[in-house]
Structure 1
Amino acid sequence: MDLQQRINAFSKLGHFLSQFSSEGFARNEDVAFNDEFFDGFKHQIKIAQEHNGWFTKENIVFALSGWSNQLTESNIKIWTSKYKFKSEYLKTIAIIMAGNIPLVGFHDFISVLISGQKVLVKQSSNDKHLLPFLAKYLEHIEPEFKNRITFTEQKLDHFDAVIATGSDNTARYFEYYFKGKPSIIRRNRNSVAILNGSETEAELKALSEDIFRYYGLGCRNVSKLFVPKGYDFQNFFKGMYDWNPIIHQHKYANNYDYNKAVYLMSEFDILENGFLMIKEDESYSSPIATVFYEYYDSLDTLRASLQKKTSQIQCVVSKGIIENDIKFGHTQLPNLWDYADNVDTITFSLTIC
């Protein structure tokens, strides 16, 4: 199977996913194998919601729409254009996936396959319904993918390299367990936003998407704000207002009530608006329904501080304040060539030979 065959297969997968949008699920007769897969995938979306209370239909569809927008032939060609795919080595790369947001390990999955390698997937129990179904669709689109995709719930065995994502604690275990294999081991990371007080209402409203999408459970969600001394949070809370219905999601509401009670009993100073709390804290990882903030005196000093903590940060959101920042509202819309932790998984896959 050559590279163009793989590109064609993934672009057809993107075409299939385009049928599942926030406007509704609409069958497109131009999509291949729809009779076999359209209704089945609707059912898998329903099962995924029932299995994991954080996986609402809205959030699942948001993830699917993001992938359908990325998996076009033109995007995939841009993504793959900088690599040299000389041949298919057919080494097996194991992927241990997290389960915090829908299809969170999908980028690793397609990176390994587009590089011409085999993939051995160990999914999180929190997110185990969507990807196997999409893998079957890929195998129908391109039969040569058969025997290149394996899912397991058992101990990993017979693989040449590994990509593993987990907490800081599990990362230490991964590093020990896989010390004899080429590996990418991912740890906890969080995303931050830098505000300077000049942000427009539209920009702060866009920031609310970076904070609340997936209930803040992703590493690309903003969990920490850096604001200048004397910053007035009134406009910030106005920008968050459109997300107020989130408090009606019972899992989110339970976390909000619990964390608020803890803060009040501990006599911490917090600001809140009925569905979001903000608390001054040096940590980068905030609990659900909470965003931490920290004051800065100098942007130059802040830039230097963030540079020292790059291993803790996934994304930095601002309006041109820092190099390689991300626009407000775009943290959950990465391109194919945006790699987690800035580690190029295709280059890694191509070096396993």
Structure 2
Amino acid sequence: MTIDDHKSHLVNLGKFLGQFQLTNSLLNPDIPGSEKFFQEMEQKIDASIHYNGWFNRENIVFSLQQWSKALTPENIQIWLDKYNFSNSGGKTVGIVMAGNIPMVGFHDFLSVIISGNKVLAKLSSQDQQLLPVIAAYLMHLDERYETRIEFTKEKLENFDAVIATGSNNTARYFEYYFKDKISIIRKNRNSVAILTGNETKEELEALSDDVFRYYGLGCRNVSKLYVPEGYDFDSFFKAMYKWNPIINQDKYANNYDYNKAVYLMSEFKLLDNGFLMLKEDESFGSPIGTLFYETYKDATDLDKILSENREKIQCIVKKNPANGEVNFGKTQQPQLWDYADDVDTIKFLLEI
């Protein structure tokens, strides 16, 4: 299978995923395989919500739509043009996927396929409905994928390399269990936003998407703010208000109430707007319903702090981003070439 074959199939996959909407999804019979798989995908979206209380249709459809926007001919070309695929492929790559947000392991799945290797995927029990439908769709487009994609519920065996994603605790297990294999082991990371006080209302409202999308469960979700000394949070809280309905989601509300009770009993100082708490804290990973924050005096000193903690950070969000930083509202809209932990997955796969 040539790289051009893969590109063509991924473009069709992007069109297929783009059909699914929050309401009134509409089947397009001109998309190859759509009539065969459209209804099955709708059913699996519903099943995903049933199996994972943190998944809802809004977030699943958001994920599908982002992948649809990513898988265009132009984006795929930009992503893959710099690589040489002439001598790649033929290896089996195990993928241990997380389940914190919908299809969180999809980029690894695509990367293994594109590199000409075989996928041996162990899905999270929290997110095991959607990807098998996508795999079946690809197999329908090209039967050669049938020998290149396998899912297992058992421990991984007979593989050449592995990509495993989990918490810091599971990463220690992965590092031991896969110590004799070529690997990418991903640990906990969190994202931060740097505010100056000069942000517009629109920029802060965009930041609210970075905070609340997927209930804040993704590594690309902003979980901590850096603000200048004396920062007035009034404009920030006003901008967050468009996400106020999130408190009506039971799992979010339960976590918010629990964490608030713990903080109050511990007599921590909080800023609270009824659905989001701000707590001054040096840590990066904040609980559900909470954002940690720290103040800074000097931007140079802050850059040093962030540099020293780079392995704990997935995204840095700020006004006028540069050097890999991210603009407000874009953390959950990564491009195909935005690799997790800044590790070039395609390069890794081409070298195994």
TM-score bracket for this pair, using the shorter chain length: over 0.9
Match for residue 47 of structure 2?
47
Match for residue 82 of structure 2?
82
Match for residue 248 of structure 1?
248
User: How far off is 1:151 after superposition?
Assistant: 0.2
Match for residue 106 of structure 2?
106
1:237 aligns with 2:237: yes
User: How far off is 1:143 after superposition?
Assistant: 1.1
Q: Deviations over 1:34-58 (max 9, x none)?
A: 2211111100000001111111000
TM-score (norm 2): 0.99
Q: Deviations over 1:12-47 (max 9, x none)?
A: 111100101235311112111222111111000000
SS at 2:147's partner residue? coil
Question: Does the 8 A contact of 1:194 with 1:321 survive in 2?
Answer: no
User: Any stretches of 5+ residues in structure 1 without a counterpart?
Assistant: none
Match for residue 125 of structure 2?
125
Alignment of structure 1 residues 311-322 onto 2, 5 Å: 311-320=311-320
1:229 & 1:88 partners in 2: Cα distance? 52
Alignment of structure 1 residues 330-345 onto 2, 5 Å: 330-345=330-345
Question: Does the 8 A contact of 1:75 with 1:336 survive in 2?
Answer: yes
Flag the 1:207–1:129 CA change in 2: closer, same or farther, 3 A.
same
User: How far off is 1:257 after superposition?
Assistant: 0.5
SS at 1:50's partner residue? helix
The code of the aligned residue for 2:299 comes to: L
Question: Does the 8 A contact of 2:92 with 2:161 survive in 1?
Answer: yes
The percent of aligned pairs where both chains have the same amino acid is 59
2:323 & 2:277 partners in 1: Cα distance? 29
Matched pairs, number: 352
Alignment of structure 1 residues 252-271 onto 2, 5 Å: 252-271=252-271
2:27 & 2:64 partners in 1: Cα distance? 15
Match for residue 3 of structure 1?
3
Q: Deviations over 1:189-244 (max 9, x none)?
A: 00000001000100000000000000000000000000000000000001100000
Match for residue 160 of structure 2?
160
User: Any stretches of 5+ residues in structure 2 without a counterpart?
Assistant: none
2:2 & 2:323 partners in 1: Cα distance? 37
1:94 & 1:324 partners in 2: Cα distance? 28
Structure 1, 68-77 or 250-259: larger mean CA deviation: 68-77
2:322 & 2:278 partners in 1: Cα distance? 23
The code of the aligned residue for 2:149 comes to: I
Question: Does the 8 A contact of 1:192 with 1:317 survive in 2?
Answer: yes
User: How far off is 1:321 after superposition?
Assistant: 6.4
Structure 1, 79-88 or 187-196: larger mean CA deviation: 79-88
1:309 aligns with 2:309: yes
Alignment of structure 1 residues 155-304 onto 2, 5 Å: 155-304=155-304
The code of the aligned residue for 2:192 comes to: V
SS at 2:144's partner residue? helix
Structure 1, 297-306 or 312-321: larger mean CA deviation: 312-321
Q: Give the ranges of 4+ consecutive aligned residues of structure 1 lying more than 4 Å apart after TM superposition.
A: none
User: How far off is 1:322 after superposition?
Assistant: 6.0
1:87 & 1:6 partners in 2: Cα distance? 16
User: How far off is 1:296 after superposition?
Assistant: 0.5
SS at 1:24's partner residue? coil
1:350 aligns with 2:350: yes
Question: Does the 8 A contact of 2:321 with 2:327 survive in 1?
Answer: no
